[in-house]
A = this chain, B = another copy of it.
Amino acid sequence: MNSFGRIFRVSLFGESHGPSLGIILDGCPPGIPLTEEDFTADLRRRKSGSRGTTPRIEDDLPILSSGIYRGHTTGAPLMLLFHNQNTRSEDYSRFIDTPRPGHADLTGHQKFHGFNDPRGGGHFSGRITLSLVAAGVVAKKILHPVSIHTRLLEVGGESEWTEILEKTIENKDSLGGLAECRISGLPAGWGEPFFDSVESYLSHIIFAIPAIKGIEFGAGFSATRMKGSQHNDPILDAEGKTATQHAGGINGGISNGNEILFRVAIKPTSSIGLPQQTYNFRTGKVETLAVEGRHDACIALRIPPVIEAATAIALADLKLIRQSTTKTTHS
């Protein structure tokens, strides 16, 4: 549903065109220094504006509405609130009758019996990821000194994508992308078998991000073509350092102290300017739909900080869970 985590638990709310959106962070340890400025860097990375992203520009400054006192977290729930502005709701009303292919227009309608908010994708909007990125800023502080770096490897299958991006924008079409996330400094012993393996926890939250359709850890899908003698990572020292990283830093669902590595498949943006076929629920016929309006030609360009934040949220929870059972001593 709309919360994630066992100890460090985030609960989000909001729609693209409603009055506000935000996220509650429960289980946040007290005493973490936090100011509004801490959010600037990651929110800017997520922001639209560069070539291939939507021209909808907002000054997204989080309001620290609770759980903070004299510049530090208090231990009470932290609420990060954003107000929506610059919404143009008139663009979206007709998608109730003619659902856009690739979007949640139809499934949202089916799931919520027609009561869902269709404006700007409502609760399914990519704008919701703004809250994730903000929560990730706090999660990264909990994880300190663990560091997480996500970057785009390919757009439209190309590692040099300027040309294909320009051409695709010109054609009113869209592109997908491939991202890579590397986590360094993570100690061995995180992850909670059987069901809450590191891969399980990370994939759960990563697949919550709109447009993600695949994830692989370490060698991933290429491991299906390797021999065991190639894939197994030789262990080199008492810290568990391995010669290769085919396991992506995870054995038996538990971090092994090496760098954690995974890759994420991002589908092409569903919103395109080209005409598409869809069913018209009013006329009962398949029709051609042409969608105007602001959107990203390549949402993958904006997703790396979202992946990073989601990763941080899941790992912060695994860290706190790990702490819960390692401190007890018995005589």
Contact = CB atoms under 8 A, between A and B. Distances in A.
Interface stretch (A35-43, A45-53, A63-71): A63-71
Nearest to A203: B203
Interface string A238-257: 10101100111011111111
Given A101-B242, A208-B253, A231-B267, 14 more contacts: A3-B9, A3-B26, A27-B325, A29-B330, A31-B330, A76-B116, A77-B123, A102-B228, A106-B188, A195-B204, A196-B208, A223-B265, A228-B270, A237-B286
Nearest to A297: B228
A28 B115 CA distance: 12
Given A7-B325, A79-B14, A115-B73, A124 B176 contact: no
A321 interface: yes
A254 B108 contact: yes
Contact of A2 (B142, B195, B214, B331): B195
A185 interface: no
A1 interface: yes
Contacts of A107: 188-189, 240, 250-252, 254-256
Interface in A121-179: 122-124, 128, 141-142, 144, 154, 156-157, 168, 173-178
Contacts of A101: 232-235, 242
A206 to B, nearest CB: 8
Contact of A204 (B128, B203, B223): B203
A265 B221 contact: yes
Interface residues on A, range: 35 or more
Interface string A186-215: 001101111111011101110110101111
Contacts of A15: 66-67, 74, 76
A242 B330 CA distance: 29
Interface string A257-274: 100000001111111101
Contact of A65 (B14, B188, B235): B14
Interface string A293-306: 00000001000000
